[in-house]
């Protein structure tokens, strides 16, 4: 059984969307999210720092969004939103997945906290990353072209949360709208995702 530890309006919302895309049988365990000062950690949450998402599957714990996305899409290898080992597109899928969680998300955090204003190299990297994503999406409706994958869930969710930082560039707005139109996204929203 899959159990997702979820705090409303937190990064775990995108994992609900992913689970809905997979048509997975799962249980939501609603927990509180820690405050910036480290207080309010929910003792029921198995994440080592009390954050969400955390996923339990038959006694195994997986934390961190990229790891959970890869774990779940590998668990459901016949789903169209993951790319299985052996598929020629797998390398691009895995690279895009970790580019999003390892580069894009931290840069958005740095932009939101004002750190980029003080760090010229990171500011340049942010601009290059945004140009890369825009160029990628100019080649197809999704990060991997015509195929919607878990990578898109992560980017679309990030762009939704970062609208105040981004303004409303047309290429981002139309990309996010493609995600919002998906039935699984609507189901996830109805469950607090």
Look up the CATH number of the domain holding residue 48: 3.40.30.10
pLDDT of residue 41: 86
Q: How far apart, in whole angstroms, are the C-alpha atoms of residue 26 and residue 20?
A: 9
Cα of 176 vs its chain's centroid, Å: 13
Cβ neighbourhood burial of 157 (10 Å; 0-12, 13-18, 19+): buried
Number of domains present in the structure of the chain: 2
Helix (H, G, I), strand (E, B) or coil at 193: coil
CA distance readout (Å), 175 to 43, 85, 122, 133, 189: 37, 27, 25, 11, 18
Whole-number Å distance between alpha carbons of 159 and 152? 10
Using 70 as the pLDDT threshold, list the residues of the chain that sit under it. Answer: none
Query: Would you give the end-to-end CA distance of the chain in angstroms?
Result: 19
36-65 pLDDT per residue, tens = 887 888 999 999 999 999 999 999 999 999
Residue 132 belongs to domain with CATH number: 1.20.1050.10
3-class SS at 5? strand
Residues 61 and 113 in one domain: no
Give the C-alpha separation, 15 to 138, whole Å. 26
Spatial distance between the Cα atoms of 192 and 22, rounded to a whole number of angstroms: 17
> Is the same domain home to 97 and 176?
yes
Q: For residue 56, what pLDDT is reported?
A: 98
Stated pTM of the model: 0.95
Question: What CA–CA distances, in Å, run from 58 to 16, 150, 161?
Answer: 18, 22, 31
Residues 16 and 56 reside in one and the same domain: yes
* Residue 149: domain span: 90-182
What is the spatial distance between Cα 8 and Cα 42, in angstroms, rounded to a whole number?
13
Reply yes or no: is the peptide bond before residue 45 cis, omega within 30 of 0.
Answer: no
Confidence (pLDDT) at 131? 97
- 176 shares a domain with 129: yes
Please tell me whether residues 61 and 37 are part of one structural domain.
yes
Burial class, 98, CB count within 10 angstroms (exposed 0-12 / middle 13-18 / buried 19+) = middle
Residues 6+ apart with CB under 8 A from 31: 5, 6, 7, 42, 44, 45, 52
State whether 117 and 138 are in the same domain. yes
Do residue 48 and residue 101 come from a single domain?
A: no
């Amino acid at each position: 059984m899959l159990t997702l530890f979820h705090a409303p309006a937190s990064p775990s919302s995108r994992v609900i969307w992913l689970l809905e895309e997979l048509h997975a049988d799962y249980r939501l365990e609603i927990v509180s999210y820690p405050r910036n000062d480290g207080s309010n950690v929910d003792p029921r949450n198995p994440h080592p720092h009390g954050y969400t998402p955390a996923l339990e599957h038959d006694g195994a714990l997986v934390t961190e969004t990229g790891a959970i996305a890869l774990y779940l899409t590998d668990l459901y290898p016949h789903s169209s939103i993951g790319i299985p080992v052996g598929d020629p597109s797998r390398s691009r899928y895995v690279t895009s997945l970790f580019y999003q969680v390892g580069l894009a998300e931290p840069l958005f955090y740095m932009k939101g906290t004002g750190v980029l204003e003080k760090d010229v190299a990171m500011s340049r990297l942010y601009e290059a990353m945004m140009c890369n994503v825009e160029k990628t999406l100019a080649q197809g409706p999704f990060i991997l072209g015509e195929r919607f994958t878990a990578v898109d869930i992560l980017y679309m969710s990030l762009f939704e949360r970062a609208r105040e930082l981004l303004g409303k560039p047309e290429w981002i707005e139309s990309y996010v709208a493609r995600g919002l139109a998906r039935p699984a996204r609507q189901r996830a929203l109805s469950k607090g995702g």
